[in-house]
Amino acid sequence: MQKKYLVKKSPIHGNGVFAAVPIKKGEFIAEYLGEKIDKAESNRRGLAYEEAAKKTGKGSVYIFELDDKFDIDGNNDYNDAKYINHACRTNAEAVCQDGSIKFYATRDIEKGEEILYNYGYALEHFLDHPCHCGFPECVGYIVSVQDRPKLRKILSKGNRRKYFQNKAKKSAKKHCN
């Protein structure tokens, strides 16, 4: 099957995946390819990749959660889908089914558009994941669609200071032990 996309530099972050042809809503775009590993191995490799990335100053951790038992280690040369970036306005979704992770278009996509989906990160560590998607609806951080209203509340004028004061108090407590 001919590829419907190409990988090139993205204005959002590093490399991205872009439509090489018009793609219709519901069409398959790409599969996240790699070795299926259990959670223990995934944690081990994730930490090792993070350490390596710290040393080289570049590189992302390309591990995708498949289900509650397994992940896919997509850190290889043949997995183009590892370059799909997050955005707060999306045109694709990742479907995890029958042991595979596949990306499908959620609307018609024009040739040249970047393929973007929501990474669905939990709210807890939002400060570690700033979002540079640049869309008007960007919430500033990479979080799931469900958590966006909560994040907006945290970041609203009145709450922002309270949130960061509480966070500082909590981390001060941790250091006292």
Distances 31 to 50, 95, 140, 142 between C-alpha atoms, Å: 24, 9, 28, 22
Among residues 104 and 119, whose Cβ is nearest to ligand SAM? 119
Contacting ligand SAM within 1-30 (CB under 6 A): 10, 12-16
Residue 138 partner contact from Zn ion, ligand SAM, none using kind-dependent CB cut-offs of 5 to 8 Å: Zn ion
Dihedral of CA 124/130/135/137: which sign?
A: positive
Among residues 26 and 130, whose Cβ is nearest to ligand SAM? 130
* Residues contributing to the site for Zn ion (CB under 5 A): 88, 131, 133, 138
Among 86, 91, 139, 147, binds ligand SAM (CB under 6 A): 86
Instruction: Please provide residue 169's backbone torsions phi and psi, each rounded to the nearest 5 degrees.
Output: -60, -45
Among residues 13 and 150, whose Cβ is nearest to ligand SAM? 13
Among 5, 83, 117, 126, binds ligand SAM (CB under 6 A): 83
* Strand, helix or coil for residue 57: coil
Among residues 7 and 154, whose Cβ is nearest to ligand SAM? 7
Residue type, 135: F
Residue type, 172: A
Choose the binding region for ligand SAM from 20-28, 79-87, 100-108, 146-154 (rule: CB under 6 A): 79-87
DSSP state of 129: -
A 10 A CB-CB count for 74 gives 21
**How, if at all, do strands 116-117 and 85-86 pair?**
parallel
| Contacts with ligand SAM, residue ranges (CB under 6 A) | 10, 12-16, 60, 62, 82-83, 85-87, 131-133
